Structure 1
Amino acid sequence: MFFRSFFYEQLAHMSYLVGCQRTGEAIVIDPGRSIDWYIDTAKKEGLRIVAAAETHIHADFVSGAKELAKRCGAKLYLSDEGDENWKYQYLNEVDYELVKEGSIFTVGNVEFQVIHTPGHTPEHISFILTDKGGGAKEPMGIFTGDFVFVGDVGRPDLLEKAAGIFGTADIGARQMFQSLKKFKALPDYLKVWPAHGAGSACGKALGAVPSSTVGYEKLTNWALKIEDEEEFVKLLLAGQPEPPKYFAMMKQVNKIGPEYLNEEEVPALPTREQLEEYQSNGVFILDVRPPQEFANAHYAGSINIPFNKSFTNWAGWFINYDQDIVLIASQEDVQAIRKALAYIGLDRIVAYIEPVVALSGEVERYEEIDVQQLRQYLQDEHYHLIDVRNQAEWDEGYIEGAQHIMLGTLADRLNEIPEGKTYIVQCQSGARSAIGASILQAKGVKQVLNLKGGYLAWVQEKLPIARKA
């Protein structure tokens, strides 16, 4: 049997290529939208991708299953669990088999047994793998999707928080409690292969180790140690991070079937005047440069989301799916940026412009201050501090006088900030607040400062903090 895992860092997404070396057939488990690395690896190993399987309808990235069906002729194994709200709607376009609790399917001599593991979502399933081609009579491991992670379990509150379906968080938590009983009954030696690692918003305490075993999770995973259902529900729902705004759209996209990837080259804008014309038509102008470069000089109306491992997540918070996008980026980065945005279905990149061209005319900038300057400004009523951290971070402690507006919601809550001030934006370390500063200026709030080092620098100076009562 051939086995290879793939990690997409920007969304902490894990996917897997499993092949039968006797028959040359292979399957991809929980594929992401960028499928070339599966195809290239399979070709290198002398395998043909004949199938793809999904543990559930994903909310944090665009599935690559439909794309694999088109390009490789892959048969799709998809969940038939859950009610009518959890059924795939693009099945007329692909070769497929719907599977549920007790279903068994094979790829070559590799066998997959399906168990229903709801909690994260109602239709969630997991796949138990047995390498029968290698002579095994007992299973080797389980693909748990967003059910069990290393050190955590899937969050059950996304339907309520991201999709607005009231009352589903408590139901999902109780389903998760029951599903974990199935997991605990599995052999301790089984390998656990989850769909996410540390950095994903699909849980609150995911481990950075890429895989585990059932036995190790029984010993160390907090969620598997709790025997009382009410206590489990309370702890599971507490402290979950804010789900990115795009999660609700991803569920719909993956349910109805994503568009096939656009392979056309992104055109370059040779003049700043063309950028201004696009701007007048309401495009989203996305500057991906490092925050210090953006602070020193940027095109008015652009929003800065640096192209780093958090890029895709924040892009999903701020860019609407009905918006065209123009990138302020170097040519050598455009394809990688396009791939990252396509991973969450943001396909409408209409052009890019080199930074030197975009900045060839009048520019804007903002200044940075340190914590000692902040301490002085907090005594002046003309300054107003905005803390853009997550709720859990705020609950741990905050700077007295700060207004808490989580970064992902800032653009929609400008009416809540007092008028006529100079605004100081602050986060944990200074990175997210730089994005926040760019949002304020793009929305017409020009008197903006960014706090260098953020809340951590404030704490390191042993300056006073406040906590919720």
Structure 2
Amino acid sequence: MAAVTSISPHPSSSPLYHKFHPSPLAYNLNSSVEPNSSCFATKAIQLSNRRKSSSIYRAIRIQNAATKQAKTPAEEDWKIKRQVLLEKKVRSVDVKEALRLQTENRFIILDVRPEAEFKEAHPAGAINVQIYRLIKEWTAWDIARRAAFAFFGIFSGTEENPEFLQSVESKLPKDAKIIVACSAGGTTKPSQNLPEGQQSRSLIAAYLLVLNGYTNVFHLEGGIYNWFKEGLPTESEE
């Protein structure tokens, strides 16, 4: 008698199979829904990628914010001074124009360099009121400041001249026509490398003058350096 072989039904005919393995026909090929086993994995990967991208983006923003150089107190201070100079319409003139204004319109050249530099050579007819002076006192703080200057090879450290305005007022009335000059001049004009211009002793002096009631204040562009370079009239007190 031939043996009867027991044939188990195909797994797909089992109700339990269909419960846990839906038929591929149940999915719309145009649908974004995927079979259960891959659906969760795909969604998890997408969510993880989004989270990673978001985290990386936030990290980059934080890093950029941290590495962006903030303005120093001196830069912020100059920004305020520059704005006042622009509002008060302090004009910059080159050295040849300054000479013309001096000879034809009775402008006074106010040289704000240190006294020693002024005595060595200066524009003819200029007067000197130094905006910075040599450190005079010998307190512990002043000695420390001298040491700090000496560390950088500067053995004639300077400090703000607290008598600057008082000295100017003793020599020039508030309506005097003034061209303020220092060594290099500086500028209020913006450039690609210097969007706020470049501060200088003469511009700081001009700022103090217009802030204290002087109404005819000009600024020497290029400074005393350009005056000497152009061979304009000079004199010395040595």
Q: TM-score, normalised by structure 1?
A: 0.24
Larger CA Rg, structure 1 vs 2: 2
The answer to which structure, 1 or 2, has the higher relative contact order (CA under 8 A, 6+ apart) is: 2
Point out the structure with the larger strand share. Answer: 1
Q: TM-score, normalised by structure 2?
A: 0.45
